[in-house]
Structures are given as structure tokens and as C-alpha cells.
């Protein structure tokens, strides 16, 4: 039999589709409901109070769709408010920070790890704190790369301009001799090839979306809520706005056609935080 309820995945917008893409690869039997808060993106520049209110509403929307487990695909949410959010709900809520942290610690040889993300993620200090909690004496070099989000959405995934921007942001990490880099933002897996090109093969680049998908597989199994039933499965996508070029951008992030897309009215989930 198994548990046919969907996995709920949310993000501030389109970026979380990189996480959906990996979860679909690893869990082909699972139904998925995705919510992208495209009307209120970006979260990465907002204050913790506002991010918490938005994330609570996003989760309430998914609960309304009877999900069995929630994945906060947004690194900003996972870094800034996840620990707090988890305490408010009875169902499992997984973030994208822990899986990247675990993979980086498993892979580093010189204990010098770089982390890149939005300003909100980097300023929260969560990656650094979690890495240091798990391994004493580790060196963490963090860098906000705010231009990476618009570049990825614009589809500038290679070329001189993109390489130059990547070099400028990443040269401080290169100078500090990191051997492992955590991509701490939903959008950065699209830039992985150019990031890897700039670093060469001296640095191991961790794709948090892939690591999160592995964690989801393990957790579903551990709790015993996998869906073992064969077809048909559904992947339903909800957003709070459909901005220009959304379909095209979404399909680039998801890596396949974006079907079953619904724009919702967020009012019923609006409340005073
Ligand atoms: N999804 C966000 C993250 O992973 C990036 C976009 C935003 O700033 O909302 O941090």
C-alpha cells in the first residue's frame, strides 16, 4: 500500500523547482504539491519577521492540501526561521540547510568550507553555526551573491559577463583556500557549471537540492510514509502570481514541462503575524 498523500514543497518563487526536480528523480512514486510565492519573492532581502509570516502562510496552504511532509526548499526560510517553524507543526518539516552541511562535512579534506547564498541566508549565520556545531575548529567563509538570482532567472548561465560576476563574488573564497563550496540558494544549481569552471577541480561544489532529495528519501522511509503504489501520480504547481516569462523560467528550473500550474488567491491564508 503506502501513503499516497503528497509531499508539500514551498519556496519564495520559482527557485524551489530545482529542489522539486531532484525530489522527482529520487522519489518517482511520490505525489507532489509545490507552492511558489511568486507575488512576494524575493524573501532573501526581507527581515526575519516578514519571512516567518510568509513561510507560515506557505505551510498553511500546503497543509490545506493534506501533505504528509513539508520541504522548505527556500534557503532563506531554512536559514532564518526553520528551527522556529518546526516547533509549530506536528508533521515533519525538512529544510535545505542540514543536507548541504552534512555533505560538506563528509567531503572536505582541509576543513575549509565556503558558503554562498542570499543576504538573508548569509546574515543569519546559520550555515556557519551548524557547520561549527558539528565540527570544532572548522573554517567557514561565507559570501552573499545577490546578483546570482537575477542572472539565473534571466538564463545567463554562461558567457563572459556571468563568468566575471562569478569570479568577483568568489575570489575571496578562492583566496582563503576552501576545498568545498555549499550552494546555499535555490537558484545556484543552475550556475553550478560556471562556478565549477571558475574554481576548477580544486573545489568540490555541493548542490543542496540533490542532498535534500536524498534526505527526503531517507526520511519517508524512516517514518514509513513512502508511496509504494504505482501510477498515476500527480505533480501540482501553485503560485501566488504568474509574472512575465514564468512558464519559460519555471521549465528551465524544473528541467521539464511545467504542467498543472494554478495561480491562487492568497487572501484566505492572510493573517496578522
Ligand atoms: N529562494 C531563495 C533562497 O533560496 C532565493 C530567492 C529569494 O531571495 O527569495 O534563498
Mean pLDDT by 10-residue block, N- to C-terminus, for the chain (273 residues)?
92 97 96 96 94 95 97 97 90 97 98 97 97 97 97 96 98 96 98 96 96 98 91 91 90 94 79 52
CATH of the domain at 156: 3.40.50.1860
Looking at the structure, tell me whether residues 87 and 216 fall in a common domain.
Answer: yes
> Reduced to 3 states, what is the DSSP secondary structure of residue 114?
strand
Looking at the structure, tell me whether residues 111 and 179 fall in a common domain.
Answer: yes
Domain membership flag for residue 26: yes
Looking at the structure, tell me whether residues 79 and 109 fall in a common domain.
Answer: no
Write down the pLDDT at residue 273: 46
Looking at the structure, tell me whether residues 15 and 80 fall in a common domain.
Answer: yes
Please name the residues in contact with 200: beta carbons below 8 A apart, sequence gap of 6 or more: none
Of 170, 193, 208, which one is at a domain's C-terminal end? 208
Closest CA to 251 of 155, 148, 183, 150: 155
Pocket of ligand 1 (CB under 6 A): 11-13, 15, 41-44, 74-76, 117-118, 121, 149, 185-187
Closest CA to 16 of 77, 93, 105, 66: 77
Looking at the structure, tell me whether residues 102 and 203 fall in a common domain.
Answer: yes
Domain membership flag for residue 2: no
Looking at the structure, tell me whether residues 82 and 101 fall in a common domain.
Answer: no
For residue 152, the CA-to-ligand 1 centroid distance in Å is 12
Domain membership flag for residue 268: no
- Give the range of the structural domain holding residue 196, as residue numbers without chain letter: 97-208
Active site residue 74: yes
Looking at the structure, tell me whether residues 181 and 250 fall in a common domain.
Answer: no
Looking at the structure, tell me whether residues 123 and 250 fall in a common domain.
Answer: no
Looking at the structure, tell me whether residues 198 and 145 fall in a common domain.
Answer: yes
**Surface-to-core class of residue 127, CB atoms within 10 Å of its CB (0-12 exposed, 13-18 middle, 19+ buried):** buried
Of 208, 229, 251, which one is at a domain's C-terminal end? 208
pTM: 0.95
Write down the pLDDT at residue 244: 84
Looking at the structure, tell me whether residues 135 and 84 fall in a common domain.
Answer: no
For atom 7 of ligand 1, the residue with the nearest CA is: 42
Q: Tell which atom from ligand 1 comes closest to the C-alpha of 120.
A: 10
Instruction: Quickly list H helices, the chain.
Output: 17-26, 48-63, 75-80, 82-86, 97-107, 119-124, 126-134, 148-154, 160-175, 192-199, 208-223, 246-254
Long-range contacts of 23-26 (CB under 8 A, 24+ apart): 23/71, 23/212, 23/213, 23/216, 24/235, 25/213, 26/213, 26/214, 26/216, 26/217
Place of cell 568540490: 204
Q: Tell which atom from ligand 1 comes closest to the C-alpha of 12.
A: 9
Do residues 32 and 22 make contact, with C-beta atoms less than 8 angstroms apart?
Answer: no
Looking at the structure, tell me whether residues 249 and 215 fall in a common domain.
Answer: yes
For atom 2 of ligand 1, the residue with the nearest CA is: 74
From CA 77, how far away is CA 85, in angstroms rounded? 9
Active site residue 185: yes
Looking at the structure, tell me whether residues 20 and 71 fall in a common domain.
Answer: yes
For residue 110, the CA-to-ligand 1 centroid distance in Å is 29
For residue 41, the CA-to-ligand 1 centroid distance in Å is 8
What does the pLDDT look like over 10-49, one tens digit per residue? Answer: 999 999 999 999 999 999 999 999 999 999 999 999 999 9
Domain count, the chain: 2
Domain membership flag for residue 1: no
Domain membership flag for residue 105: yes
Cell triple for residue 216? 527526503
Write down the pLDDT at residue 269: 62
Domain membership flag for residue 222: yes
For residue 228, the CA-to-ligand 1 centroid distance in Å is 32
Write down the pLDDT at residue 268: 60
Amino acid at each position: 500500500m503506502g501513503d499516497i498523500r503528497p509531499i508539500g514543497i514551498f519556496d519564495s518563487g520559482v527557485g524551489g523547482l530545482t529542489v522539486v526536480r531532484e525530489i522527482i528523480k529520487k522519489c518517482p512514486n511520490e505525489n507532489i504539491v509545490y507552492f511558489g510565492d511568486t507575488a512576494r519573492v524575493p524573501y532573501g532581502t526581507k527581515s526575519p519577521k516578514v519571512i516567518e509570516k510568509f513561510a507560515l502562510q506557505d505551510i498553511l496552504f500546503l497543509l490545506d492540501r493534506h501533505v504528509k511532509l513539508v520541504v522548505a526548499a527556500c534557503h532563506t526560510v531554512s536559514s532564518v526561521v526553520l528551527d522556529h517553524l518546526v516547533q509549530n507543526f506536528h508533521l515533519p518539516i525538512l529544510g535545505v540547510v542540514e543536507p548541504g552541511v552534512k555533505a560538506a562535512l563528509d567531503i572536505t579534506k582541509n576543513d575549509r568550507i565556503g558558503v554562498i547564498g542570499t543576504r538573508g541566508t548569509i546574515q543569519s549565520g546559520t550555515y556557519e553555526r551548524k557547520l561549527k556545531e558539528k565540527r570544532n575548529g572548522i573554517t567557514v567563509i561565507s559570501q552573499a551573491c545577490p546578483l546570482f538570482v537575477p542572472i539565473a532567472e534571466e538564463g545567463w548561465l554562461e558567457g563572459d559577463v556571468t563568468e566575471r560576476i562569478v569570479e568577483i563574488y568568489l575570489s575571496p573564497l578562492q583566496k582563503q583556500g576552501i576545498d568545498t563550496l555549499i550552494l546555499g540558494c535555490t537558484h545556484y544549481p543552475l550556475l553550478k557549471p560556471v562556478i565549477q569552471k571558475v574554481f576548477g577541480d580544486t573545489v568540490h561544489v555541493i548542490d543542496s537540492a540533490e542532498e535534500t532529495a536524498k534526505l527526503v528519501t531517507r526520511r519517508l522511509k524512516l517514518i514509513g510514509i513512502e508511496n509504494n503504489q504505482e501510477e498515476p501520480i500527480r505533480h501540482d504547481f501553485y503560485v501566488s502570481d504568474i509574472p512575465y516569462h514564468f512558464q519559460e523560467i519555471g521549465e528551465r528550473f524544473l528541467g521539464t514541462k511545467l504542467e498543472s500550474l494554478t495561480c491562487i488567491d492568497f487572501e484566505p491564508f492572510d493573517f496578522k503575524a
